[in-house]
Structure 1
Amino acid sequence: MGDFGRISVYDALGGGAVADILLWKNSYGSVVMLVVSTIMWFLFERGGYSILAFVANNLLLLVVILFFWAKSASLLNRPLPPIPELDISEELVVIAAEEMQVWINHVFSIAHEIAIEGNVKVLLAVVSSLWVISYIGSFFNFLTLIYIGALVSLSVPFLYDMFQTQVDEKLIVVHKLAHSIQRQVDAVLQMLPSTHKQKTQ
């Protein structure tokens, strides 16, 4: 753990178009993402605009434009609207189903460890995680959290890429401290009586 992995932020983000936007290498894409997310947040949060009304109005506008475009194209001998062939392949459906299966099985395994095996460590981790999510959610609504996530994704990777060496040094110290605390917690949990083991014995 000496150099904390030393993988570049660009490679960690996949090294593609997403990494270029998040690290501001594609400044145009980054600015567009920031401006669009800010406009959407103002529309829905400050302007009181409903998501359902927004989607319905945009779809209505799109359908009307395409209809009149197609009619005028046939009258004026112009090309029809360039609508791509949208077809979800069976392979894509299988990939999505497999990904969903992994997440569902992971949730079931956690539930099994808590309910059947009586794993106190997993229970405490789940309870604390859900409490943190609930606590944060009490201050912000869902759309504001999404907007904050967009701002964080456009700032934290960029700042970490600039100051990776300094941040890694601090992370090493925090990791050592967390590892020490984890060993103490494990020692305390081992001292607790396991009701499940007593029943099985």
Structure 2
Amino acid sequence: MNESHRSSVHQALGGGQVADVLLWRRRVGSVFILVASTSLWLLFERAGYNILSFVSNVLLLLVVILFLWAKCASLLNRPLPPLPNLEISQEYVLVLADTIQPIVNCVLSVAREIAVDGNLKLFLKVAFGLWVISFIGSFFNFITLVYLGILVSLSLPALYEKYQDPVDDKLTVAHKMIETQCRSFDDKILRRIKMPFQKEKKI
């Protein structure tokens, strides 16, 4: 595959360190995320450990270590724990807000088109998408869904980058077929909705 395709996939994922991890260009980070997520999933799902208890115990252990370290440092004239500046900078908040703003605006735009403009096609698409999410969620709990999402994120982008040309051809054909079916389905629904209003009342 040529380099333009590889760079396009990398840029589509943001072009930063996250994209490098998802495409396995930073193998250490990718392996760490895979091993850590698998270990946590096995801990919570197979060992039956509770996530609230796990977080509480980890924080308790961390607080105890820091407290004992600080006490020992004051008694032995040793340096205190090298903690960073524990505060969120205004620049980071602005960057986070700029990242979230387009997503929120997109959701609000979709909600406006459904609630105010009465866009039936968009309503059917959103309703079908939410039903699919609810149907899939009925088979798995939240932790398993997150773990499956991590596995998909670490596998699909790398596979797509490797086999981009044949996948694009298949997706183009599938998109045309789905678009044709959805258009005919929407036309049938719209025709059924409009028919009762077009009938004249019998005297």
Is this a same-fold pair by TM over 0.5? yes
Alpha-carbon separation, structure 2, partners of 1:28 and 1:121: 45
Counterpart residue number, 1:89: 89
Preserved contact between residue 120 and residue 189 of structure 1 (Cα < 8 Å)? no
Change (3 A) 1:10 1:87: same
Contact 1:72–1:78, Cα closer than 8 Å, also in 2: yes
1:48 aligns with 2:40: no
TM-score, normalised relative to structure 1: 0.82
2:126 is the alignment partner of 1:146: no
How far apart, CA to CA, are the structure 2 residues paired with 1:107 and 1:12? 21
Residue deviations 1:58-85, cap 9 Å, x none? 1110011001111111222221111101
Residue 31 of structure 1: how far off its partner (Å): 1.0
Correspondence 1:165-176 to 2 at 5 A: 165-176=165-176
Distance in 2 of aligned mates of 1:101 and 1:162: 32
Please show how residues 1-201 of structure 1 align to structure 2 within 5 Å: 6=5, 8-97=8-97, 102-185=102-185, 187-188=187-188, 191=191, 192-193=193-194
Deviates more, 1:136-145 or 1:179-188: 179-188
Stretches of structure 1 lacking an aligned partner (at least 5 in a row): 196-201
Identity among equivalent positions (%) equals 57
Q: Distance in 2 between matches of 1:8 and 1:100?
A: 23
TM-aligned CA distance change 1:141 to 1:175, over 3 Å: same
- Partners of 2:178 and 2:45 in 1: CA distance: 38
Q: Normalized against structure 2, the TM-score is what?
A: 0.81
Q: Report the residue type matching 1:59 in the other structure.
A: L
Distance in 2 (alpha carbons) for counterparts of 1:132 and 1:174: 19
Contact 1:118 1:194 in 2 (8 A): no
User: C-alpha separation between the residues in 1 aligned to 2:111 and 2:12?
Assistant: 31
Distance in 2 (alpha carbons) for counterparts of 1:161 and 1:81: 44
The residue that corresponds to 1:198 in the other structure is none
Give the AA of the match of 1:125.
K
